Amino acid sequence: LFAGETEFVKGVVAMSGLPAPNRLEVCFAGRSNVGKSSLINALTGRKGLARASNTPGRTQEINFFTAGDAHYLVDLPGYGFANAPLPVVEKWQRLLKQYLSGRQTLRRAFVLIDARHGVKTVDEEILKLLDSAAVTFQAVLTKADKVKEKERATILDQVRGALAKHPAAYPEIVVTSSEKGWGIPTLRAII
């Protein structure tokens, strides 16, 4: 995955809108404000590719980006808005479930976890969905620059403990900071 090879393809609100499954893909999931847009921008080297400021109404779509000629990067809607209306949440859950369990070309999900907060109750739902869809997922700590090393170690332990309960979890956690560029080359290589 190299900088400059990424283009926005489309935002999808229903299964019928998915691009043809003719490229392998990875997806990114995370609580809203976890740093998902910043991470995708850092990975692709394209500032502003993924919208860096999300609002509840605008984020209920699955966004597809090309990565070179053969792959897609897929930005899933951020979850965990405290006051999102129930129908919005239910629609999101339905689409997400359909996408995760029905997408043949999906090879891995990256679940973004804020390095200050660790795995929260709000994250557990998607981890369970990934388990039941048998999509291998990998945890990515974001904003690692915001915590001291000792605190980071504590959070990593907490995340490891949470992942251990999920059969679809890949055990290795990627520690990143989009701001400092930490972990970005590693994550590119994994992708």
Binding of residue 34 to ligand GDP (CB under 6 A): yes
Binding of residue 183 to ligand GDP (CB under 6 A): no
Number of other residues whose CB lies within 10 A of the CB of residue 160: 16
- Closer of 140 and 169 to ligand GDP (Cβ): 140
Binding of residue 54 to ligand GDP (CB under 6 A): yes
Binding of residue 32 to ligand GDP (CB under 6 A): yes
Query: Tokens for 40?
Result: 């995708």
Measured at the alpha carbon of residue 116, what is the angle toward residues 114 and 118, in degrees to the nearest 5? 60
CA trace torsion 36, 128, 107, 89 (10° rounding): -50
Binding of residue 146 to ligand GDP (CB under 6 A): yes
Binding of residue 177 to ligand GDP (CB under 6 A): yes
- Closer of 131 and 145 to ligand GDP (Cβ): 145
Q: Are residues 101 and 113 in contact, defined by beta-carbon separation less than 8 angstroms?
A: no
Contact residue for ligand GDP among 26, 129, 143, 155 (CB under 6 A): 143
Query: Tokens for 21?
Result: 């499954």
Binding of residue 33 to ligand GDP (CB under 6 A): yes
Binding of residue 84 to ligand GDP (CB under 6 A): no
Please name the residue ranges forming H helices in 45-170: 86-102, 121-133, 149-163
Binding of residue 60 to ligand GDP (CB under 6 A): no
Coil vs helix vs strand at 85: coil
Q: For tokens 């660790």, what's the residue?
A: 118
- Closer of 32 and 44 to ligand GDP (Cβ): 32
Q: At what angle do helices 149-163 and 121-133 cross, to 10 degrees?
A: 40
Of 174, 106, 167, the closest CA to residue 138 belongs to 174
- Closer of 29 and 106 to ligand GDP (Cβ): 29
Near ligand GDP in 105-124, by CB under 6 A: none
Interface residues toward ligand GDP, by CB under 6 A? 30, 32-38, 52-54, 78, 142-143, 145-146, 177-179
